[in-house]
Amino acid sequence: MIDQLDGLGIGLRHLDLGGGLGIRYDEEEPPSAAQFMRAIVDRLLEHRLAASMGLVFEFGRALVGNAGLLLTRLEYVKHNGDRAFAVVDAAMNDLIRPALYEGYHPIVEVSPAASESRLYDVVGPVCESGDWLGKSRPLRIGQEHDLLAVLSAGAYGMSMSSNYNARPRAVELLVDGTNVRVIRQRETIAALWQGEA
């Protein structure tokens, strides 16, 4: 395509290569940014495409994916046969990736309460079969109000969140060392009704 455009007298100054650099969610090992760019540039140079133009990479998820987490509180534990469900106050409207396309996010206890771990399906309170954040996760949770952190939620967490089931979007906090500040207030019920008439 670059050659075709050049043949029409349309010279490109920049080539936007988009994203594609992943982050580690589970056991996978994505390449480093340097390895990723080197592989792309080497391929472009083979075809003499990158010598005369600037290259643009969009590393959004790689930059912010692991910088965010979803903090949630255990509401209660329920059992169905040999399965245990940790019902938390976060839901699929807060982080849709697991329900939408089985996106994996590590889930850890903020303060492990039990001495032994057991497998839990971590689910929300929205009453949908897809309202889950993680399945078969080894956790050491003990009682109601224990905090869990759903990791690697910095990319697409807020931008894909919704008001499904009349749930306000969560507050967003920025933590910088020991400083914490609110960067987005939790939505209010009144704000939910603004679009209804």
Known catalytic residues are 127
Q: Which two tokens stand for residue 78?
A: 């329920």
Q: Which residues, 6 or more positions from 146, have their beta carbon under 8 angstroms from its beta carbon?
A: 73, 74, 109, 110, 111, 113
Pairing state of beta strands 83-88 and 118-123? parallel
DSSP letter at 185?
P
Query: What b/e readout covers 37-53, taking b as 16+ CB neighbours within 10 angstroms?
Result: beebeeebeeeebbeee
